[in-house]
Amino acid sequence: MTMLLWIHGMGEARGCWDEVVRDPRLAAHTSLVPDLPGYGAAPPDGRTLAGLADHLAAWLVAEGATDVTMIGHSMGGVIGVLLAERHPRALARLIDVDGNVSTGDCTYSGKLVRDGRAALLAHVDDLAHRDLAHRRYAPRLQRCDPDTLLRHARELLAYSAAEDLAARRAALPIPCTYIAGSPGGACARTLALLEVAGVRTIPIAPSGHWPFVDQPDAFVGVVANELAPH
C-alpha cells in the first residue's frame, strides 16, 4: 500500500483535493492531505519553500510514513522537487501537477509581486465567474496569510527564472511524472524544457492549471496508473 501525500499550490488549501482523494480507484492507499503553514487552517510560521520541504520530511518521519508518493500541484510540485533533493529517502515517487518550471508558469505569483495582493484577488474574482477552478480558488486565496503568500510568490519567480527545474526533476533519485493541464496549464516554454530534460509528461485536456478540477476522472486515471505496478 502506497501512502499518498497531497500538497496544494500557492494560495490554495487542502480542500482543493477533496474530489479526487475520495475516488474509489485510490481507496487502497492512505492519503495525507495537509494545509501548509499560512494556508487554509494552518497558522503561518515564516518558512521558505525549502523550509516547507524540510518540514514535510520531518512530518513524514513522525507519521511513520513509508513508500510515499507525493502529488504536488503548482507550488506543491516545486516543494516536491526540493523535498526529493534534500531528503532523498523521504519519497518513493513524485507526481508533479503543473509545477513551476519557467516564468511563463508564474501567472498568479507574478501578478502578486508585480501588482499587489488586491490586484491578484480582483483578477481571480473576475475569473471565478468563468470557471469552477477559479470559483473554488478565490475564497481560499483570500483566507491565506498575506506575508506567506508574497514570500512564496517571490521564491517561485526566482526558481522559475533560473529555468533549471526541468533538469532538476530529471536528476531526482526517484521517478518523477509531470501532469500538464492542456492547453491552459503549463506554458509552451515549460513543456519544451521538460521535453529536452527527458521528464515524463502527461497532458490532460481540455484543462487549465487545475486539471484535477477540470478533468477529475482523467486525472485520477493517470494517478492510479502511475501507482500501479509496471
How far apart CA 114 and CA 111 sit, in angstroms, is 5
User: Residue 230: its pLDDT value, please?
Assistant: 73
All three cell numbers of 204: 490532460
How far apart CA 36 and CA 53 sit, in angstroms, is 10
All three cell numbers of 144: 491565506
| Tens-place pLDDT, residues 186-210 | 999 999 999 999 999 999 999 999 9
- 96 beta partners: 72, 178
Q: pLDDT class for 150, splitting at 50, 70, 90?
A: very high
| Tens-place pLDDT, residues 28-39 | 999 999 999 999
**For the residues 160-174, what does the mean pLDDT come to?**
98
Say if residue 71 is exposed, middle or buried (CB neighbours under 10 Å; 0-12, 13-18, 19+).
buried
**For the residues 110-130, what does the mean pLDDT come to?**
97
DSSP SS3 for 184: coil
**For the residues 212-224, what does the mean pLDDT come to?**
98
Average pLDDT, the chain: 97
DSSP SS3 for 202: strand
Alpha-carbon distance values, 163 to 81, 198, 211, 230 (Å): 14, 15, 23, 31
CB atoms within 10 A of CB 35: 18
All three cell numbers of 52: 516547507
**For the residues 99-107, what does the mean pLDDT come to?**
97
Sign of the alpha-carbon torsion through 188, 94, 30, 32:
negative
The residues near 173 (Cβ < 8 Å, ≥ 6 apart) are 84, 88
Q: pLDDT class for 229, splitting at 50, 70, 90?
A: confident
**For the residues 124-153, what does the mean pLDDT come to?**
97
How far apart CA 230 and CA 125 sit, in angstroms, is 43
Domains of the chain and CATH, by start: 3-227 (3.40.50.1820)
How far apart CA 74 and CA 8 sit, in angstroms, is 7
Residue ranges in the chain assigned as alpha helix (H)? 18-21, 49-63, 75-86, 107-115, 117-128, 132-143, 146-162, 165-170, 188-197, 211-214, 216-227
Q: pLDDT class for 1, splitting at 50, 70, 90?
A: low
**pTM beyond 0.95:** yes
Contact 182, 160 (CB under 8 A): no
Q: Max alpha carbon distance in the chain (Å)?
A: 47
Q: pLDDT class for 2, splitting at 50, 70, 90?
A: confident
Q: pLDDT class for 127, splitting at 50, 70, 90?
A: very high
| Tens-place pLDDT, residues 45-65 | 999 999 999 999 999 999 889
